[in-house]
């Protein structure tokens, strides 16, 4: 009998500060994001939701186990579907985001994007346009707890990232600026922009970080992501100078100390992002998708 790989463990709520609960979806792979529930005296705030109707319902069941107060505010850390597909299921909640995120959520062509990924039963997912947007910073209050929402001021993981900083708890909710245990994903973002943003996050000296994917972590995850970004900028610059396409470069680069990270197919995506930054152009998302398919051999396996 051949040994089967261990199934990912079930999602779970983890208390990360008094009244703050991280919803962790192992193993943090494609579409297996984290969300955070900030409970307050009268209402709760959710940072992000989940990728499918069923996964959002499971998150809402866990919310009901830790509070009987309604979620009245949902913060979208960025437009990607794992963080936003379930937002509309928080009926009556006000959705908050960066303007770019709102624009992308409303323009997202699910029929074009979703077939890129194999696996999920998406269920009832809809584009829920944020009703409140902010360009730089916004403070939310949950009783006496201040929740600072910050846009880095530049492209990083996307052009519309928001991270949450809870100063009294020294807790940082990073969205996909950090993948703990996964390959960082730049795609349409910016490698140098993410590097600068990670420096700023480091200066906050958080006690704990809830990343967009993977287990809660400390500054070591910021350092690991920084290490990866410096590495990929170096190998991308060499490959670009040699005239290699991102796909040919991805096939020839040895990921070395990063080869144990999940989602190794993001290497080719990240090379596209580096090349676009070197050339001062936008990433050709169609070519990026085609090259990723060529590496994976078909649609990308993702959450069930």
**Cβ(151)–Cβ(134) under 8 Å?**
yes
CB of 78 to Zn ion, least distance (A): 6
Q: Which is nearer to Zn ion, 80 or 145 (CB)?
A: 80
Provide CB contacts within 8 A for 221, sequence distance 6+.
178, 180, 209, 211, 214
Residues 22 and 262: their CA atoms lie apart, in Å, by 21
**Cβ(180)–Cβ(165) under 8 Å?**
no
The DSSP annotation for 244-300 comes to --HHHHHHH---GGGTTSB-TTHHHHHHHHHHHHHHT----HHHHHHHHHHHHTSSE
Q: Which is nearer to Zn ion, 80 or 104 (CB)?
A: 80
Strand partners, 163: 150
Using CB under 5 A as the criterion, which residues of the chain lie in contact with Zn ion when the complex forms?
Answer: 80, 176
CB of 80 to Zn ion, least distance (A): 3
Q: Which is nearer to Zn ion, 80 or 98 (CB)?
A: 80
CB of 173 to Zn ion, least distance (A): 14
CB of 176 to Zn ion, least distance (A): 4
Q: Which is nearer to Zn ion, 80 or 262 (CB)?
A: 80
Please work out, in degrees rounded to the nearest 5, the angle formed at the alpha carbon of residue 283 by the alpha carbons of 277 and 99.
Answer: 95
φ, ψ at 45 (rounded to 5°): -115, 135
Q: Which is nearer to Zn ion, 80 or 150 (CB)?
A: 80
CB of 158 to Zn ion, least distance (A): 7
Q: Which is nearer to Zn ion, 40 or 160 (CB)?
A: 160
CB of 83 to Zn ion, least distance (A): 6
Comparing CA positions, the residue from 138, 137, 140, 147 lying closest to residue 17 is: 147
CB of 59 to Zn ion, least distance (A): 17
Comparing CA positions, the residue from 176, 209, 177, 184 lying closest to residue 261 is: 184
Q: Which is nearer to Zn ion, 186 or 232 (CB)?
A: 186
Three-class DSSP category at 104: helix
């Amino acid at each position: 009998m051949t040994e089967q790989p261990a199934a990912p463990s079930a999602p779970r709520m983890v208390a990360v500060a008094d009244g703050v609960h991280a919803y962790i979806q192992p193993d943090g792979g494609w579409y297996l994001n984290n969300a955070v529930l900030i409970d307050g005296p009268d209402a709760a705030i959710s940072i992000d939701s989940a990728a499918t109707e069923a996964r959002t319902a499971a998150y809402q069941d866990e919310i009901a186990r830790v509070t009987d107060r309604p979620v009245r505010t949902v913060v979208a850390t960025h437009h990607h579907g794992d963080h936003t597909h379930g937002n509309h299921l928080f009926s009556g909640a006000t959705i908050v985001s960066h303007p770019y995120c709102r624009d992308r959520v409303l323009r997202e062509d699910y029929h074009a994007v979703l077939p890129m990924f194999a696996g999920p039963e998406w269920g009832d997912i809809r584009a829920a346009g944020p009703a409140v947007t902010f360009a730089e910073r916004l403070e939310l209050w949950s009783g006496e707890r201040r929740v600072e929402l910050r846009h880095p001021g530049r492209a990083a993981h996307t052009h519309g990232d928001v991270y949450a900083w809870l100063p009294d708890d020294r807790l940082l909710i990073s969205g996909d600026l950090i993948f703990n245990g996964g390959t960082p994903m730049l795609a349409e973002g910016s490698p140098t922009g993410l590097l600068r943003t990670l420096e700023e996050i480091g200066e906050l000296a958080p006690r704990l970080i809830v990343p967009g994917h993977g287990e809660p972590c400390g500054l070591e995850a910021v350092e690991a992501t920084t290490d990866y970004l410096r590495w990929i900028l170096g190998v991308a610059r060499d490959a670009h100078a040699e005239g290699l396409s991102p796909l040919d470069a991805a096939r020839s680069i040895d990921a070395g100390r990063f080869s144990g990270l999940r989602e190794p197919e993001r290497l080719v995506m990240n090379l596209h992002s580096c090349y676009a930054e070197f050339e001062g152009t936008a990433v050709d998302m169609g070519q990026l998708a085609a090259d990723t398919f060529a590496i994976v051999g078909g649609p990308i396996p993702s959450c069930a």
